[in-house]
Amino acid sequence: MSTYQNRSIVMSKRPEGEIQDGDLSLKTSPVRDLAAGEILIKTLWLSLDPYMRPRMNDAKGYMDPLGIGDVMTGESVGRVVESQSDQYAVGDIVTSYSGWQEYYIAPGDQERMYKVNADGVPLQAFLGVAGMPGRTGYCGLSYLGKPKAGETVVVAAASGPVGTVVGQTAKKLGCRMVGIAGGAKKCAYVVDVLGFDACIDYKSGDLKQKLSEACPDGIDVYFENVGGEVTKAVAPLLNEGARAPICGYVSAYNATDMAAVETPFHILGALPKPPEHRFFLVTEWQDQHAEITQLLADRVKSGELKYEETIAEGLENAVEAFKGMLKGENFGKQLVHIAD
């Protein structure tokens, strides 16, 4: 019999708007014995990301909604502590979509589960700038944004892991890079540490005017993370032939009726000359997973790719950290540290 006890966060009821007390619950249950071909993973780090909030709604999106009683979806870095699979050994470090829990049983052939060769890179970076958010920023910018030297690129949520990679990648290509972030502290970091040419504080007012001043030659690539008023400020400045990869629109994720939301598709599509724009998922480039992860990890290791993190300690603090992240209270990548 397994002696492990698992703590998990499950969805007890669907949120109406912002997440309230009782929507998510902490549950403890024994870990069953492994079947042939399975591994037991102990979670070390849990990633919190905006996409998790729409999964809580009873609406079909690009992924099926969570069911009542389901463990909250999410990616983690963990260590294999038991193995009945010849593909993984005890001690292997892996990324997997374990959900919000301390232990996770996975089949050895599970999709989107990868061994991590940290090689001096902090493990949690494989959930941030060297992980899914980083690959999202890199692929969306490179393959859909297609920036060229001298062009102006704008990204909102500029201090987060996606925006961080978008900005530093565009600067490396010789672009003028303008960020949008919430608060003077984040904006100063984006310019002084990440090397953007400018960063606009959307909380300080006059977003349209300040964005226009920061982009005197218009905008050639807009990487969409936020939606709403930010997209409305960007839209009139888009040059003919502009590209707008749509990663998400977090400003709407707490809406009580997503069907009534004015999305970036509505805003950009209503322009007299709409930019080339579409929603994308990082899984479109899944065949390049290892190659792009390595590229980003190498940049982290060399110090070229800089990033910031906000860390909550313990699974019991994940829910409050998640609620804060959806309001932009985190600085950089939001993580939960579960175990060493």
Percent pLDDT > 90 in the chain is 77
Domain with 205, as residue range(s), is 132-283
Q: Does residue 145 form part of some domain? A: yes
Is the same domain home to 153 and 279? yes
CA distance 226 to 221: 15
Q: Into how many domains does the chain fold?
A: 2
Is the same domain home to 235 and 258? yes
Is the same domain home to 182 and 314? no
Contacts of 86 (CB under 8 A, 6+ apart): 108
Is the same domain home to 22 and 160? no
pLDDT per residue as tens digits for the range 117-143: 999 999 999 999 999 999 999 999 999
Is the same domain home to 119 and 156? no
Is the same domain home to 51 and 177? no
Is the same domain home to 312 and 275? no
pTM of the model: 0.89
Q: Where residue 254 falls among pLDDT bands split at 50, 70, 90? A: low
Is the same domain home to 162 and 210? yes
Residue 257 has pLDDT above 80, yes or no: no
Contacts of 216 (CB under 8 A, 6+ apart): none
Is the same domain home to 43 and 25? yes
Is the same domain home to 122 and 144? no
Residue 209 maps to which CATH number?
3.40.50.720
Asked if 221 contacts 153 with a C-beta cutoff of 8 angstroms, the reply is yes
Is the same domain home to 118 and 149? no
Asked if 10 contacts 69 with a C-beta cutoff of 8 angstroms, the reply is yes
CA distance 94 to 126: 10
Q: Where residue 259 falls among pLDDT bands split at 50, 70, 90? A: low
Residue 55 has pLDDT above 90, yes or no: no
Q: How far is CA 32 from the centre of its chain?
A: 31
CA distance 71 to 99: 6
The chain-wide mean pLDDT, for the chain, equals 92
pLDDT per residue as tens digits for the range 205-241: 899 999 999 999 999 999 998 888 899 999 999 999 9
Which tokens go with 266? 């509505």
Run of H or E residues at 281? none
Is the same domain home to 279 and 317? no
**What pLDDT does residue 270 have?**
85
Residue 255 has pLDDT above 80, yes or no: no
**What pLDDT does residue 326 have?**
87
Residue 256 has pLDDT above 60, yes or no: no
Q: Where residue 251 falls among pLDDT bands split at 50, 70, 90? A: low
Q: Does residue 25 form part of some domain? A: yes
Residue 323 maps to which CATH number?
3.90.180.10
Which tokens go with 74? 């999410």
